[in-house]
Structure formats: C-alpha cells, structure tokens
Amino acid sequence: IKMPGHHTFYDGSKIFEPLASKIGMGSDQLNLVYGQLVSLVAAIIFYKYMNVHQVTKTVRTTFPFIVGIYICYFCYGSAIKHPIFLILGNFLILKYCPGLFVHKASFIFSMGYLFYIHFYRFFILTSYSIDVTGTMMVLVQKCTTLGFSLHDGKCKKEDELNEIQKKEAIKEVPSVLDYLSYMFSYQTVLVGPLCFYTDYKKYIDGDHLKVDGSKQPCPKNAAIKKITASVFFMIIIVLFGKYSPEIIATPEYLKLSWFKWALWWFIVIFLQRIQYYYVWVFADAVANFSGFGFNGYDENGKEKWNLVSNVYPLKLEMAQTFKETLDCWNVATMFWLRRVAYDRVPKNMRTLTTYMLSAVWHGFFTGYYLTFATGALFTLAGRYSRRSLRWRFLKNPYLKFTYDIITFLSTKIALAYATLPFVTMHLNPGWFCYKRATFYDGCKIFLPLAKIFGFDANSINFILSLLMSYVLAKIFVKYLTILNASVNIRSLYTGGCGMLICYFMYGKGIIHPIVMSLSNYCIMAYFPRCMIVKLCLIIPLSHLLIIHLLKYFYINTYSLDITSVLMVMIQKCCLISFALTNEKHEKSNNKNVLKNISELPNILIYIAYMFNFQTLLTGPSFEFVDFKNFIEGNHYIERKEKKSNVDKIVKHKVIYGCIFLFVYLIFKEYSCENAVTPYFIQLPWYHWIIFCQLGITTLRSRYYFAWYMSDAICNISGFGFNGYDKNGEEKWDLCTNVNVKNVELSYSLKECIDNWNIGTCRWLRLTVYNRLPKSYRTLGTFILSAIWHGFHPGYYVTFTTAAIFTDASRIFRKYFRPYFILSSENKQMYDIFTFFVTRLAIIYGAIPFSLETFYKSIIFLKQFYFGGHLIAIVIIFVIPIIFEKPILIKSQNNERNTFSDRNIKIKQIITDKTQESIKDD
C-alpha cells in the first residue's frame, strides 16, 4: 500500500514486479538495473554509429538527452517532474541572473529545491528506496558547478583562479540543447557521477581524444574490465544482499559473542559498499563504452579512463587512513564539495562547512548527521595523529610496517563505525550499536580457560595481561634501549602497549582513562598555575567518583574493572600536576618532597607516563621525573666494577609472586565472606579467629601476586632503580608497592600501613597529609583514601576503624612503651603482645573492607562485641587523663632518645648519686 505522497519520489514502471518478488529484490532495484542495461546498449550504439565523423553534433547532443529522459521516466514515472523543474529553473537563473550573483542564485535555488524534496521525503518514507532524489542530487551538483563556472568565466580574472577553475570556467550560457544533453546524459543521469560541463562539451564536440603525436585512445579494455568488475559485484549482491545492516541490532545477533557481533557489523557495512561499487563502476563502464572518460596518460604512458570514475574499490579497501578512504569514495562528490565549498570559504571553516554541505545534500535523516559528525571527527583526529606520529616510524622499515598494519585495521574499524548510521538512515539502530560498542567490558575469548581454573573472564584476562606485559618488557629492554631507539619511540611503545592491554582488559572502559588523562593535560596546559593543584585533584577525583557511583549501583560483586586503572591514574594526575607547580612544604624531608618539573611535558611522554604498561593495571604510581629519566635513559648507570643484581631481584620477585598466586588458588575458598556465615560463626571463638586470619591472608595474597609481578615487570624493562643501599648493593624498589615481611610481621598498625600499598600511602602523604593543618591530617588522609576506594559502606567502616586504631596505637605506644624498653626481656614481651594485637586489629579492621556491605560488616563486628572500637576509644580519651605523659630525656651523647616516667627518672638519679659516693670512698 502506498503512503500518501509516495508518488512524489517513485512512480516508476511495475513491469518487473513479478520477477522482483520471485528473486527477493525490489522493483525499484530491477528498474535501476534495466535502466543501466539500456544505457549500456545506448553507449555501444553511440560509440559505434555516432562518432564525430559519422553524424552531426546535433545528433550527438540529442541522443544522450532522449535516452536519459526515457530512462528517468521508466524508473521514476511522474516523479520526473522534479528533475525537469530543477533544470528549467536553474537554466533561467543562468540566463538572466547577473554574472556577479549567478553562482549564489544557482546554489540557493538548486539546494533549496533539493532541501524541500529531502524535507518532504523525511516525513513520507520510512525506509530506503531508489527514488528520484538520487537523480536530483546529481543534477544539483551539475547545476551548481555550472553556475560557479559561469561566474568564474564572466567575473573573475585569470590570476584570481586556480588551475582547475580556469579549466572549468565558461564565458557564456550553454544552448538549451547542450544544457539538456548535459543534464540528462544517459551515462550518469541515474546514479552519477558528476561530470563537468567543459569535459562533456569536449566529448560531444569530439575534442576529448585529441592528443598530439599519439595514437587514438581506445576505451575497450578499460570498459570491459569495469563491466566485469560490476558483474562480480552484482553476484555478491544477489548472494548476500539479504544481510542488511539492521540485522546487527536484532535479538538474534545480539546474542552472539561481542567479537562475532562486531565481525557481522563489519560484514554488513562491507556489503553495503558493494552496492555502491556496482552502480558506480557500471556507470563508469557505460561512459567508457560510449567513448567518454579519457583523462590522458599516466607516467608509464598508459591510457587513463578515469575522468568519470566515482570509486576505486581496491584502493578504498586497502586504505590506511580515513582521509585516503574518503578520497577513493564518491570521488565526483568530493570534487564538487571542493569546488563549491572547500575552496571558497575561509581556511578555518573549510572542514566544518564541507561536512555540513555534504550532510544537507544527502538529506534530513538523523543517521546521516551522526555519520558526518563522526566522519569530521575521525578526519581531524586522523590528520593530527598522522602529523604527530607517522614521521616517527619512517626511519625503521619494521616500525613503518607495524604502523601501516595498525592504521589499516584502525581505518577499517573507523569506516564500519562511522557509516552504520548512514546506511540505516535513522538514529537507531546506529546509536544503539554505538552504545553497545562503547560499553563493552573486555575480551571474552579466554572465558573457557577461566572456567577451568574457576575464574571469571576478567581475572584470567588480568593474568594474561601480566604475562603479555612480561613479554613486552623483555622486548623493550632488548630492542628499545636508549642506544638503538629514540625517546619518542620508547615513549610510544610504553604508552601504546599500555593502551592495548587496557583495551584487552576493559574494552569500552578505556574511554575513561583516556578522558581523564587528556583533561588533566589540558588543565596543566591552559589554566593558571595557582589553580592547577586543586583542579588536577578535584576534576579527576570527580570523574572517579562518578564511576564508583555507577559501579556501586550496577555491580553487585567484586570484579576487576576499569576503576583500578583510574585509581592509579588519578594518583599520577596529582603527582605530575603538583610537581609542575614547584610547591615545597615546610617540615617535609627529602623523601616526602616531590621532584619538580620546570615545564609541561610533551604529549607523547605524558601519555606514556599515564598508560605505561608496566604498572597500568595494578600500580603503583610514581613520580614523573623518575619515569622521564627512565625513558631518556638517565635513571641508571651500570657499574663496570660490579655486575648488576637486577636479574636476581627480578627472579625473586617473580618466584614470590607465583607463590602468592598458588596460595590464593589453594585457599581462595576460605574467603572473608565465610566469616559471617552461620557455620563459621558457630565455631569456637579462637577457631573462628584462625579462619578469619586465613581469609584475610588469602585476600592479601591476591594483592601480593599482582604487586610483585608488576614490580618484576618494571625491573625487567629497566625501570625501578632507586640508588644503592649501605652495602653498595643496587636497590630496585622504586616501583615496589608492598613489603610482605614488614606487613606480616609488623608490630604496629602504622608499620603495617606504611608497608602496604606504598605508592598510595606516599600519594596520600604528598597530596593531603603534608598540606593540611596538623590536627586534621589523619582524618583528612583517611577520608580521601575512603573516597578514592569507592562507595561501598564496608570501605568506610574499615577506614574509620583504621583512623581510630591509628590514633589509639600512637597514644598507647607513647604512654606504655617507655616502661618496657629499658629491659630486653620486657621489650620482647611488649613486641610479642603488640604483634598479636596488630594481627587482631588487622582482622577486625580489614575484613569489613572485603565484605563491602554495611550489614555484613556489622554482623562481623558483633562477633567482637565492637570491642575493638570500645578499647580504642578508651585509649584515646581515658589513658591521657589517668596516666601522666612520659618525659623525654636525652642521653649525654645526644645520639638517641630514651623515654622514662618521673619515677624512673628519680630512680636513675639516685643510682647515679650512689655510684658517685662509692667512687669517692
């Protein structure tokens, strides 16, 4: 059933409808094929029987017009009135409008008419069909270029025109017959492409093949090749035409794995291109069969029959840049856009104006605008990235080959990504597919392997990412030393590998670290230095909080997701921005002062710092100056007299990391979640404590594995050197994030915290602790740490408990430790006591962190009757009131301080006096 007004666009012949229904094609498509076959026969007749020596110019001019009118009427029926009205109206403008304004009047009228047709079509048609708008779009190109050519010929001097404008300029309006023949020429009237009037006039006059001292060019070989290619494309369409782009948004295809779904996306877009290949290559073949299309000779003396070629399929499919792709696609339209827009607007408006005109020329369907907005973005991004990166790869043929492969694949992905909304016309399903591609959560190809080991996909991806980082570090240290690779290559490798690993792990989530890092760079580049410190903390932290908030509502269980990368990256954002401000803080030793940088680093080394593959997934963070020295090769100078011990250190770290992984695999069933299950709660209290200790140790083993492996990967790549110890041995602990011995055997909670997540502790000290008033330091540090971790209530229970315990342990140590340090036996008893108390405090404070929820945390703390909090509060508020503060006494040699209360001091004085009396006697 026709919709009202449908005949406005398509009212063609119905003679092929029975055949169309049998072969599964639309009658509009068969009419197009018939029209092209008619034009092919007409072209052969014209070339064989109507050359310039056999018939008059009038016959050669009239024949294309008559055949073109017939084809249009067969395909569009009464809708042919629109091309006729457009052509006649434009002719009147050319004839009677002053030359100074003729180009503007022609452009406004032609585009206005097409604008009206597109606008009307937008409300009438719900799906794509071959209708009169295709012919109208080609005619608008012809009308406007003719108007500009007339304006250039009449009103401009030769020195004001470029070479192409000089060639196309005309000084008078064509005759009616010449004009109609040009507009309705059968070779290009249905699907294009645009041919310029001066070229068509030479063809009709027989001047297009005149080449001095050369034989007469023959189009036979070129035409046969093109017609053969178009037949091949038609076969593909017949066999696979049923796979339309809309299918990838259907439930059937959405059930596929992401990789298969993305592959289908690429396939359906490729099949859409095949349809255009067919019609444009066939039209080019028709033009060549008629003798039209000769464009001189190439550098090898071969004939070029590409004057009306509108697409180069092989070049397009093998293109390595988005611009190269566009240059091979709809070539005549690109020429038209350049003639009427790009070359005639201010330089800073060229790209935007060209894409806007292209979008309006295509129509009003929202999918077109989504495609052209994406295309403009990709074009600019490709241009800047090519300028910034390509020259860095040209010196080394292997690097250039790698660059070519990456750009080839990127171009194919970008092409499929950008053109989907265009071929579907509407905002959906293009927008839906964009969202699905954007919010993908990592590679699932190793999910079967994960199930074997009892992991989820993200966990197995994490282990594989560490293995990949290990290999990448080996490659880096062997082939990209500072002697055989530039700083830019080392930076590009480090950052590029990190981004690839990040995409492998988190897929769509990579957009968040990219946005965070680039926004932070813009802040440092464009904001006053007095604002940089605050903005580089607030804006990345706000970004992280939004991600944490979404994670809190949408993820019910712990998973390895993009937040871990963002948590490390926000530390780097703060460290580099604080170093740039050259701030120094009083009462801070050298260990707690940032190494300043004098100027904003270049973007390449900055991205490498943010995305370095060694520590991207797990941390720790480190200062930019240390990383810059590593990239520039200034971080380590090997001693000739003594061999480096880095291999031994790496070996130990890898072994320890593997041991902790095995511990986790063996005991992972004894998770902290078991501590609040009825079975474990009913156990005797000391049994329950043992299982809690086992659970918290298993939890820590997971972090030990990740941090040890990350540290080892840094050292393998040559990063992590931190000077020499007192024995002259190299220290490779710059990227060490945990000291397991000091954590597991710590005698105080502070000692445990100082050796756990060392990079984060230093970040908190540099960004908060050293910058707050003394009375607010501890509280402010724990608040930032809690927010930085996320919104789960269990985190806040843990950090509140840790803040209370830290103050309590400090007070307890201050008031009670002096009584035990004078005797080695008493000190040993004190150490044993504090060791076990610290173990209990860690269990009490850390398990709610793992439980995450407030309800489970309260159930767990109830098993202690909240005794930890009560005891800590008593120590903080009661002990200072009951007990007097011990007195600090300096020894005579001033080398160490000794604590004693008043009684110990008096006793010591009496003892000294007694000894003096004995000596006197």
Q: What is the CA radius of gyration of the chain?
A: 38
Task: Name the helix (H) or strand (E) containing 897.
Answer: strand 897-900
Q: How far, in Å, CA of 765 to CA of 462, rounded? A: 29
Sheet strands (E) in 800-894: 887-890
Annotation says 151 is catalytic: no
Task: Name the helix (H) or strand (E) containing 718.
Answer: none
Q: How far, in Å, CA of 137 to CA of 190, rounded? A: 10
By C-alpha distance, which of 63, 107, 65, 61 is closest to 86? Answer: 107
By C-alpha distance, which of 186, 120, 173, 187 is closest to 143? Answer: 173
DSSP code at position 311? B
By C-alpha distance, which of 380, 377, 361, 359 is closest to 369? Answer: 359
The active-site residue out of 31, 310, 330, 755 is 330
What does the angle CA 691 – CA 695 – CA 699 come to, to the nearest 5 degrees? 170
Q: Which residue bears the tokens 């091309």? A: 83
Give the residues across from 888 on adjacent strands. 899
Tokens of 566: 């963002």
Cα torsion 98, 361, 286, 48 to 10°: value is -10
Residues 6+ apart with CB under 8 A from 717: 472, 473, 476, 477, 614
Rounded to 10°, the helix 427-438/258-289 angle is: 130
Q: How far, in Å, CA of 782 to CA of 764, rounded? A: 9
What does the angle CA 552 – CA 553 – CA 556 come to, to the nearest 5 degrees? 70
Buried b (16+ CB within 10 A) or exposed e, 728-747: eebebbbbbbbbbeebeebb
Q: How far, in Å, CA of 901 to CA of 9, rounded? A: 101
The active-site residue out of 362, 512, 548, 869 is 362
Give the residues across from 311 on adjacent strands. 329
Asked if residue 229 lies in contact with residue 313, where contact means CB atoms within 8 angstroms, the answer is yes
Residues 6+ apart with CB under 8 A from 23: 238
Q: How far, in Å, CA of 898 to CA of 388, rounded? A: 63
Asked if residue 399 lies in contact with residue 454, where contact means CB atoms within 8 angstroms, the answer is no
Asked if residue 780 lies in contact with residue 771, where contact means CB atoms within 8 angstroms, the answer is no
CB atoms within 10 A of CB 295: 15
Length of the chain as a residue count: 921
By C-alpha distance, which of 650, 773, 761, 638 is closest to 709? Answer: 650
Asked if residue 843 lies in contact with residue 693, where contact means CB atoms within 8 angstroms, the answer is yes
Residues 6+ apart with CB under 8 A from 172: 150, 153
Residues 6+ apart with CB under 8 A from 369: 359
Asked if residue 334 lies in contact with residue 327, where contact means CB atoms within 8 angstroms, the answer is yes
Asked if residue 815 lies in contact with residue 886, where contact means CB atoms within 8 angstroms, the answer is yes
Q: Which amino acid is it at 569?
A: M
Tokens of 405: 């492969």
Q: How far, in Å, CA of 154 to CA of 554, rounded? A: 67
CB atoms within 10 A of CB 755: 20
Annotation says 362 is catalytic: yes
Tell me whether strands 897-900 and 887-890 are parallel, antiparallel or unpaired: antiparallel
Asked if residue 151 lies in contact with residue 97, where contact means CB atoms within 8 angstroms, the answer is no
Residues 6+ apart with CB under 8 A from 691: 670, 674, 675, 680, 683
The residues assigned a catalytic role are 330, 362
